[in-house]
């Protein structure tokens, strides 16, 4: 150990035993590479033929500059269909994965996930309310907020559920996992019942929209949608690095985090509002995409440990990559038709979740 | 200096701590003793700002209520009775959390090595790479102490004394480590800091405490030096136990006191 520290170059934090920060930085670098590959794959694969690869090559490297063969159709596919879809996929993948990591830190439990504990259901309720009642009962709101009405309503729905959940499950600074999961189930059931009432009221066209929306999909990504939810998600993600140290301290309990000088109340409220905004915005445009928020942080904790300073940015990178890959599967596996992406993430994520439970059997104390 | 005046704490309508006056001075170990349920931990939680209280607590001349958590954290560190960790942190990562406020008081180039040095002080050399959850209760408690030591590494910072609040720091430890931990507390006090420790072992208390605060049913039953406070009467009244201070057991009965440590 002493020799190591002498050998370490001046100014560089030496990697002592039990210090996983060097590995974390390596994994983050690799995640960047994976994300770049996922973006490239998403832009160049799909129902359309492979000449799109030339457009991407042109765009990235200027390889085909002056080549008149590139036709307008390929450009349209890449710039107006695939590129917005890739952007949206990255935003939502990052939002869901980081939201999961933040909630797990906040609730001090690796099973806390916006989808599992009802936050997504609350967001859905808000979104469905706008879809069904947007032209009638909620018309004044729609007139006031325009394209932002849907993400805003989803945000409010998610925020309400998270606040109620935290209030119910936390007593004297301790969050009870059993209460949290059970209250989450109850709140999700309530939100789904209210959503059910709205679906009951919906007309045929709305019903079809709702069904596909609720299965989760990145289809229909437009630059306009990115314009309405992109800023919300980017703002929420931009806040999370400031939460990292506080969430680390919170792993020792709320009281101890406070003793270490962390303003715990402010941390909690910032985290809750950030998660609700990110999840609300994601649900508003893409419906229910489950398990990203639980799979990504869990995988990363196995690789780099639970330090949120690395976990949060790495979750953003890996979440974005995974969702792009899931979307690529969704687009191509039944081409030219398209599988809702929520089905892909659930089919791969649910068994993974069960595996976590099995590994933790006896460790998780309900 | 920490001055608590007429501090009371109510929990769920029940008065747990009632009108306690308390001083912790730099250079001293102040021990809080008393039977289970006498309000020791609750009082310490009020003193650390964790629980709402009535009365007044002054930390180095400033009212505790008017201080931000980040400023309080510079002047005192708290070791809870037990800490359950929710994620698989390594020992080094846990200890390093003590540096989250960034005012250890160590020289800037020392901070990077501080976790290892703190671990060495609590006799956990070489434990940095282990997982916290895999350690025994006593080892976990010493890891937490190492974390707390990192937070207030220098007993004096910016000319102000700093304080260690220790809630039963040695309850789960073997005798060797009890002595090691109490010596760390004494060194911290000798370095100009102050220590507030809740203790159950009256022999250790007599050996290390400069001043004893005896709590009984939420109130202060006695205050003073070990010599003044530890009496047959006090022990009978507070602990409801007829014991004789300083009486040796019968000649054929072995006994081991921490005071006999070489």
User: For residue A228, what is the domain's CATH number?
Assistant: 1.10.3470.10
Whether A13 is in a domain gets the answer no
Q: Which of A171-175, A250-254, B178-182 has the highest mean pLDDT?
A: B178-182
Whether A238 is in a domain gets the answer yes
Closest CA–CA distance from residue A274 to any residue of chain B (Å): 22
Give chain B positions within 8 Å (CB) of A262: 69-70, 100
pLDDT in tens, A247-265: 999 999 889 999 999 998 8
Higher-scoring residue by pLDDT: A287, B256: B256
Using the predicted structure, report yes or no on whether residue B138 has a pLDDT greater than 60: yes
User: Which pLDDT belongs to residue A63?
Assistant: 52
Using the predicted structure, report yes or no on whether residue B7 has a pLDDT greater than 80: yes
Using the predicted structure, report yes or no on whether residue A180 has a pLDDT greater than 90: no
pLDDT in tens, A41-70: 888 776 665 555 666 666 666 555 555 555
Closest CA–CA distance from residue A229 to any residue of chain B (Å): 32
| Gap between the Cα atoms of A283 and A132, Å rounded | 16
Nearest chain B alpha carbon to A4: B113
Q: Which two tokens stand for residue A357?
A: 């439970």
User: Which pLDDT belongs to residue A9?
Assistant: 38
A300 contacts chain B (CB < 8 A): no
pTM above 0.80, yes or no: yes
User: Which pLDDT belongs to residue A354?
Assistant: 83
Give the confidence band of A172 by pLDDT, cuts at 50, 70, 90: low
User: Which pLDDT belongs to residue A280?
Assistant: 86
Higher-scoring residue by pLDDT: A289, A362: A289
User: Which pLDDT belongs to residue A48?
Assistant: 61
User: Which pLDDT belongs to residue A1?
Assistant: 37
| Gap between the Cα atoms of A106 and A266, Å rounded | 12
Whether A135 is in a domain gets the answer yes
Longest Cα–Cα distance in chain A: 74
Give chain B positions within 8 Å (CB) of A259: 48, 50, 73, 77-78
Give chain B positions within 8 Å (CB) of A9: none
Nearest chain A alpha carbon to B108: A11
> Among the residues of A260-359, which ranges form H helices?
264-286, 292-304, 308-332, 341-359
Q: What percent of chain B has pLDDT over 70?
A: 100
Report, as an integer, the average pLDDT of B139-144.
96
Give the confidence band of A155 by pLDDT, cuts at 50, 70, 90: confident
Report, as an integer, the average pLDDT of B91-115.
90
Whether A8 is in a domain gets the answer no
Nearest chain B alpha carbon to A303: B88
Using the predicted structure, report yes or no on whether residue A290 has a pLDDT greater than 90: no
A vs B, Cβ pairs < 8 A, gives 96
Dump the DSSP string for A175-232: E-HHHHHHHHHHHHHHHHHHHHHHHHH--HHHHHHHHHHHH---TT--HHHHHHHHHH
CB contact under 8 Å between B84 and A263, yes or no, is: no
Using the predicted structure, report yes or no on whether residue B25 has a pLDDT greater than 60: yes
Among A3-7, A42-46, A111-115, B228-232, which stretch is predicted with the lowest mean pLDDT?
A: A3-7
Report, as an integer, the average pLDDT of A79-89.
88
Using the predicted structure, report yes or no on whether residue A364 has a pLDDT greater than 50: no
Among A224-233, B164-173, B178-187, B231-240, which stretch is predicted with the lowest mean pLDDT?
A: A224-233
Nearest chain B alpha carbon to A12: B112
Whether A162 is in a domain gets the answer yes
Dump the DSSP string for A82-99: IHHHHHHHHHHHHHHHHH
Separation in Å, CA A254 to CA A105, A266, A364, B83, B135: 11, 12, 19, 11, 22
Among A334-338, B196-200, B225-229, which stretch is predicted with the lowest mean pLDDT?
A: A334-338
Closest CA–CA distance from residue B252 to any residue of chain A (Å): 47
Quick one: which H or E segment has residue B21? Answer: strand B14-24
Best B86, B133, B150, B165 member to test A by mutation, with max A CBs in 10 Å, is: B86
Please report the ipTM that was assigned to this predicted complex.
Answer: 0.93
Using the predicted structure, report yes or no on whether residue A87 has a pLDDT greater than 60: yes
Give the confidence band of B27 by pLDDT, cuts at 50, 70, 90: very high
Whether A44 is in a domain gets the answer yes
CB contact under 8 Å between B69 and A307, yes or no, is: no
Whether A101 is in a domain gets the answer yes
User: Which pLDDT belongs to residue A11?
Assistant: 35
Higher-scoring residue by pLDDT: B57, A76: B57
CB contact under 8 Å between A263 and B73, yes or no, is: no
Nearest chain A alpha carbon to B131: A18
User: Which pLDDT belongs to residue B189?
Assistant: 97
Give chain B positions within 8 Å (CB) of A1: 116
The domain in which residue A272 lies consists of: 23-359
A254 contacts chain B (CB < 8 A): no
Using the predicted structure, report yes or no on whether residue B244 has a pLDDT greater than 80: yes
pLDDT in tens, B38-63: 999 999 999 999 999 999 999 999 99
Whether A307 is in a domain gets the answer yes
Best B47, B91, B97 member to test A by mutation, with max A CBs in 10 Å, is: B97
CB contact under 8 Å between B78 and A256, yes or no, is: yes
Domains and CATH numbers, chain B: 2-82+157-260 (3.40.50.300)
Closest CA–CA distance from residue B34 to any residue of chain A (Å): 23
Number of structural domains chain A divides into: 1
CB contact under 8 Å between B92 and A18, yes or no, is: yes
Q: Kindly state the DSSP code that residue A365 receives in the 8-state scheme.
A: -
Q: Which of A14, A251, A305 sits opposite B90 (nearest CB)?
A: A305
Give the confidence band of A7 by pLDDT, cuts at 50, 70, 90: very low
Beta-carbon-side half-sphere exposure of residue A316 (alpha carbons within 13 Å): 18
Give the confidence band of B89 by pLDDT, cuts at 50, 70, 90: very high
Q: Which two tokens stand for residue A145?
A: 């907020």
Kindly list the strands in the beta sheet with B62-63, ordered across the sheet, starting from the edge strand earlier in the chain.
B14-24, B2-11, B54-59, B62-63
Closest CA–CA distance from residue A38 to any residue of chain B (Å): 30
């Amino acid at each position: 150990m002493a020799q190591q520290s002498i050998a370490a170059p001046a100014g560089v934090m030496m990697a002592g035993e039990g210090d996983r920060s060097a590995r974390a930085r390596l994994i983050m670098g690799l995640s960047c590479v994976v994300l770049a590959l996922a973006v490239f794959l998403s832009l160049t694969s799909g129902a359309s033929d492979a000449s799109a690869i030339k457009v991407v090559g042109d765009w990235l490297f200027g390889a085909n500059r002056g080549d008149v063969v590139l036709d307008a159709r390929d450009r349209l596919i890449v710039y107006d269909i695939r590129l917005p879809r890739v952007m949206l996929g990255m935003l939502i993948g990052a939002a869901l994965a980081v939201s999961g990591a933040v909630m797990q830190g906040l609730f001090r439990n690796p099973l806390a996930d916006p989808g599992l504990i009802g936050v997504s259901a609350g967001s859905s309720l808000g979104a469905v309310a706008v879809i069904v009642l947007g032209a009638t009962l909620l018309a004044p709101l729609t007139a006031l907020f325009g394209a932002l009405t849907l993400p805003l309503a989803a945000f409010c729905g998610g925020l309400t559920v998270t606040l109620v959940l935290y209030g119910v499950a936390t007593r004297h600074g301790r969050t009870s996992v059993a209460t949290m999961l059970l209250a989450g189930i109850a709140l999700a059931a309530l939100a789904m019942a209210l959503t059910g009432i709205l679906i009951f009221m919906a007309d045929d066209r709305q019903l079809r929209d709702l069904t596909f929306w609720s299965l989760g999909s990145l289809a229909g990504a437009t630059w306009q949608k990115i314009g309405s939810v992109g800023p919300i998600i980017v703002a929420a993600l931009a806040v999370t690095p400031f939460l990292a140290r506080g969430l680390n301290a919170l792993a020792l309990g709320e009281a101890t985090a406070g003793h270490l000088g962390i303003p715990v109340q402010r941390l909690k409220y910032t985290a809750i509002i950030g998660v609700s905004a990110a999840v609300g915005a994601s649900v508003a445009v893409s419906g229910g995409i489950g398990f990203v928020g639980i799979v990504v942080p869990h995988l990363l904790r196995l690789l780099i440990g639970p330090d949120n300073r690395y976990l949060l940015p790495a979750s953003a990178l890996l979440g974005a990559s995974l969702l792009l890959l899931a979307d690529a599967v969704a687009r191509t596996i039944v081409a030219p038709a398209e599988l809702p992406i929520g089905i892909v993430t659930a089919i791969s994520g649910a068994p993974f979740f069960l595996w976590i439970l099995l590994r933790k059997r006896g460790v998780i104390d309900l | 200096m920490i001055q608590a005046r007429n501090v009371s704490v109510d929990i769920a309508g029940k008065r747990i701590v009632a009108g306690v006056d308390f001083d912790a001075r730099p250079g001293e170990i102040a021990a809080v003793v008393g039977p289970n349920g006498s309000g020791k931990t609750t009082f310490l939680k009020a003193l650390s700002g964790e629980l709402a209280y009535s009365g007044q607590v002054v930390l180095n001349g400033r009212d505790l209520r008017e201080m931000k958590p980040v400023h309080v954290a510079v002047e005192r560190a708290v070791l809870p009775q037990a800490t359950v960790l929710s994620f698989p942190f390594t020992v080094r990562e846990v200890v390093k959390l003590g540096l989250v406020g960034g005012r250890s008081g160590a020289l800037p180039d020392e901070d990077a090595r501080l976790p290892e040095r703190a671990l060495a002080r609590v006799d956990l050399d070489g434990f940095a790479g282990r997982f916290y959850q895999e350690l025994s209760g006593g080892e976990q408690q010493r890891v937490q102490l190492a974390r707390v030591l990192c937070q207030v590494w220098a007993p004096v910072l910016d000319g102000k004394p700093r304080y260690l609040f220790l809630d039963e720091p040695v309850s789960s430890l073997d005798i060797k480590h009890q002595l090691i931990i109490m010596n760390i507390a004494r060194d911290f006090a000798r370095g100009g800091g102050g220590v507030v420790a809740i203790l159950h072992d009256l022999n250790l208390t007599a050996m290390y405490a400069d001043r004893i605060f005896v709590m009984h049913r939420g109130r202060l039953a006695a205050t003073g030096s070990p010599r003044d406070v530890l009496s047959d009467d006090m022990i009978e009244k507070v602990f409801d136990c007829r014991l004789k201070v300083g009486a040796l057991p019968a000649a054929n009965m072995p006994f081991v006191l921490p005071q006999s440590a070489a």
